[in-house]
A and B are shown apart, each in its own frame.
Chain A
Amino acid sequence: MKNWNSSTIGDERRMLPIPVVITVIVSSFLLSILAMGFTLQYITLSVPNLAYATIAFASTYISLTVALMGLSPYISAPFAFILGGLISLLLYRFMAYLRDRGATVVGLMISTLVFDLTIYGATNIYAGYIAYFFKTYTYSFSLSQFDFNFGVVPGILIVSTLASVTLVLIFHALLVKTKFGIAMRAVMENYSLASTQGIDTERVLSVAWFFVGGVAGISGSLYPLWFYMDPWVGTRTFISIFAGCVVGGLRSIYGSLLGGFVIGTSEILITYAFANVFGGWVWAYRAVTPMIIAVLALIMMPDGIAGYLSRARPR
């Protein structure tokens, strides 16, 4: 199986679009899950988590370590879940502590920045360490050669789609059917009211953040199975996540799910279309596409898809 990855796509202009299709699918599903989780965290504290993407992509190095030890990178999933979950939980507790001491929105966002920068530095230090230990280049890597294949279909395609769909279904069921899910909806809707109703709001939010972080970690651990990972993937993906949330509707969880999917698809397809017309150099600007879409969305559809749909609903 040829080692396709996103950065080589632009070099071949007359190639079959199958790798592009796979890239679109994997990217869209991962991004939609990430955007959904991001919005969930945003709603709970009314503060966007700047460390979100960095936490997610810290787990890529777990996959790398596992692969270098000779095992399948998919095994890293539970560890990625725990790592992502624990860091997110810690971040939530830090933010709750500051919030209770009267921190402003600015202060809380800076606190997420604290985690973002720490993890950013720590993961790259770790990358340096395993480069030293395993005597290999870890600055930019891809694990697609460690993937299994289902016939001609790369495993990551199956895993990312199945995992995403399962996750959304589980999440929806959780939210609607379980006591915990209902408690979480109550807390997100009205924190103070929920606490007076006897819900342990702090525990509910802590668990929610743990799960969201864990899922983000798993998403991150799957990323290098198709794409190339380097220290700046986190920042670039954060922009895409942000754009996905803007397109989907800033406070809507399912809107962000849709928005993330839209961005994941259009980012690749639009860049691909432009590259075919203007030349392969367009691929270098791929990271700017989500930003352009976000700006357009802000101008034309400031409430996002979710806002648009809720207004179109008949009374």
Chain B
Amino acid sequence: MKHVVEITLFLDIVVFFCVYAIVTLSLNFEQGYAGLFNLGLYFPVLAGALIVAYLPGRLAMMIFSIDSKLDFVADNAVVLNLLKARLASDPLTSIFLLIVTLVAVVGICSLLGYISAHPALKLSEDYLALFMLSLAESLRVIGMQTDWLAGGVMGITIVNPFWWLGSYAYYGSALLVVGSTVFVWFIYHRLCTSPLGRALKSVRENKLTAECVGKDVSALKKKVLAFSFALLGLGGALHALNTGAVVAEGYSRVDFSFWPWLMMIVGGTGNNLGVLVGTFSLVMMRRVMIYSKHYFTFLPFDVVWLEPILLAVMLGLTLVFKPSGILPEKPPKLDQYMQKVLRKRLYPKEQPSELLAS
């Protein structure tokens, strides 16, 4: 029994790390590569969670012809019991629900990203950050006030697509998260180490020059936001699936925007590996903090308010002492590019040019 607890604890940390890795890698793609300043990172993350709260339940109710007088939110516990009874012995439908939901998440969030790109093109960097932040907070207000979406302020428990695994359900969802994270890492790695990554950095460095060397800056920004929003939504969806419940209030600016920002800056903006290092260190730190909370009960105030202060102090120290992060961005040498196309290393002169330097 103790082993199960230890494994679950371990998986807990792993899942937490994976979800944040997806979020920070997406943030790095937006900011570290494309130079899109997004402080409202939790907008698509929350959207993904809301879709997971809303869609599978309603779909399952339709599939199993559950009494339509019952409301998924108002009669949450009753409906979930009914659905669990059906889905626990129906892996096919469970997986179907899962796939449909994830496809919906990716689709809707990438659309949101594409739409959000339009103000992104009009606004300067600084106001873009504010705009995204305000947009995200507005969605959070909507999520907290709209009962039929995700239970409003109280939140709801959601359909678990791994009920058919019985007592191994948690392992199932953990495996899904880890697998997705590996996939996300692979995709971002490929994109960023390809000429696209280089092109995005050129847009980040100097939009006008990039435009004048043939890069369609507007189209690139739209695509970057559509893509990263889709994956951010996926992160939110996976987080919700693993938590088993969705409470919109929990997807706050501190949790899903400012902590990821710190993780990226501490790790190294513009460097995917650095971002992972930053994410790992801070996730571990936060887990330790959560487990040691009970040592602080002697304080006359709620210990939860120390968290933003800690975050602020770390941000401040990083900005002052190590703004480029643990693993700073390192532009590749030409040799490395040549190795990628499987050419031999470059020595002083390779071949004479027709145009001799005068």
Contact = CB atoms under 8 A, between A and B. Distances in A.
Chain A in direct contact with chain B (Cβ < 8 angstroms): yes
Interface of A: 42, 46-48, 50, 94, 98, 103, 105-107, 109-111, 113-118, 120-122, 124-125, 127-129, 132, 235-236, 238-239, 242-243, 246, 250, 284-285, 287-288, 291, 294-295, 298, 302
B235 to A, nearest CB: 21
A114 B319 contact: yes
Interface stretch (B121-129, B221-229, B284-292): B121-129
Contacts of B265: 110
A235 B137 contact: yes
Interface centre among B31, B307, B309 (most CB of A within 10 A): B309
A121 B308 contact: yes
Tier of interface size on chain B: 35 or more
Contacts of B312: 113-118, 121
B308 A120 contact: yes
Given A47-B126, A117-B312, A128-B300, A107 B319 contact: yes
Given A109-B126, A121-B307, 6 more contacts: A106-B37, A115-B312, A121-B306, A121-B308, A127-B301, A239-B138
A227 to B, nearest CB: 17
B192 to A, nearest CB: 19
B321 to A, nearest CB: 11
Contacts of A238: 134
Interface in B112-168: 119, 122-127, 129-131, 134-135, 137-138, 141-142, 145
B309 A122 contact: yes
Contacts of A235: 137, 253
Contacts of A129: 300-301
A129 B305 CA distance: 12
A24 to B, nearest CB: 20
Contact of A48 (B130, B301, B302, B307): B130
Interface string B291-316: 00000000011100111110111011
Contacts of B261: 110, 113
21 contacts: A46-B126, A47-B126, A48-B129, A98-B319, A106-B37, A109-B129, A113-B39, A117-B258, A117-B311, A117-B312, A118-B313, A122-B309, A124-B301, A125-B305, A132-B301, A235-B137, A239-B138, A242-B134, A287-B138, A295-B119, A298-B119
Nearest to B37: A106
B107 interface: no
Contacts of A115: 312
B130 A298 contact: no
Contacts of B142: 285, 288
B319 A110 contact: yes
A42 B124 CA distance: 13
A103 B301 contact: no
Given A110-B261, A125-B305, A239 B323 contact: no
Main secondary structure of the interface of A (DSSP, over half): helix
A50 B127 CA distance: 11
Contacts, number: 115
Contacts of A116: 312
Contacts of B182: none
B126 A287 contact: no
A114 B31 CA distance: 19
B312 to A, nearest CB: 4
B258 A48 contact: no
Contact of A118 (B126, B258, B308): B308
Given A105-B125, A235-B253, A287-B138, A114 B305 contact: no
A6 B305 CA distance: 26
B145 A285 contact: yes
A106 B300 contact: no
Contacts of A111: 315-316, 319
Contacts of B306: 121, 125
B305 A106 contact: no
A295 B311 CA distance: 31
A42 B259 CA distance: 25
Nearest to A128: B301
A121 B315 CA distance: 14
B165 to A, nearest CB: 39
A103 B308 contact: no
Contact of A288 (B130, B131, B141): B141
A111 B323 CA distance: 11
Contacts of A250: 124, 127
Contacts of A110: 261, 265, 315, 319
Contacts of A284: 145
Interface centre among A50, A110, A125, A294 (most CB of B within 10 A): A110
Contact of B123 (A98, A120, A298): A298
A114 B261 CA distance: 12
B5 interface: no
B315 A113 contact: yes
B275 to A, nearest CB: 15
Contacts of B123: 298
Nearest to A116: B312
B320 interface: yes
B103 interface: no
Interface centre among B124, B142, B305 (most CB of A within 10 A): B305
B85 interface: no
B263 to A, nearest CB: 13
Contacts of B300: 128-129, 132
A194 B199 CA distance: 39
A266 B307 CA distance: 36
A127 B129 CA distance: 30
